[in-house]
């Protein structure tokens, strides 16, 4: 499927992803090949958007116990300040 023709009406790629017999399957195949996502426009047609995901690295907390073993918790929940700080 041609990436340049996906949003041009009545091209082969557009017809496969909008009016074909299995448009959902062709849209999924196109997204696997080129990335991005499909959004419906005001005419209820699927329009492809090239989305660049900017994922920032997550902070990793390392807890060291008294024996020197490092523990990396899977989920960390940072709570607010302790009540003692407000006294």
Provide the pLDDT for residue 2: 83
User: Residue 75 domain-assigned?
Assistant: no
CA–CA separation, 19 and 56 (whole Å): 38
Structural domains of the chain, count: 1
DSSP H helix total and E strand total for the chain: 2, 4
Backbone angles phi, psi at 54, to 5 degrees: -100, 95
User: Residue 78 domain-assigned?
Assistant: no
pLDDT tens track for 54-78: 666 666 778 888 888 888 777 656 6
Provide the pLDDT for residue 68: 87
User: Residue 77 domain-assigned?
Assistant: no
Q: Which domain holds residue 11?
A: 3-49
User: Residue 86 domain-assigned?
Assistant: no
Provide the pLDDT for residue 85: 53
Q: What is the DSSP letter of 55?
A: P
Low-confidence ranges of the chain (pLDDT < 50): none
Provide the pLDDT for residue 62: 81
CA–CA separation, 43 and 61 (whole Å): 48
User: Residue 36 domain-assigned?
Assistant: yes
User: Residue 76 domain-assigned?
Assistant: no
- The label of the residue with tokens 């003692």 reads 84
């Amino acid at each position: 499927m041609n990436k340049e023709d996906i949003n041009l009406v009545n091209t082969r790629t557009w017809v496969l992803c909008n009016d074909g017999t299995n448009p959902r399957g062709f849209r999924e195949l196109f997204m696997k090949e080129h990335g991005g996502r499909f959004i419906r426009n005001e005419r209820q047609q699927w329009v492809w958007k090239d989305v660049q995901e900017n994922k920032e690295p997550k902070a990793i907390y390392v807890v060291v116990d008294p024996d020197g073993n490092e523990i990396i918790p899977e989920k960390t929940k940072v709570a607010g300040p302790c009540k003692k700080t407000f006294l």
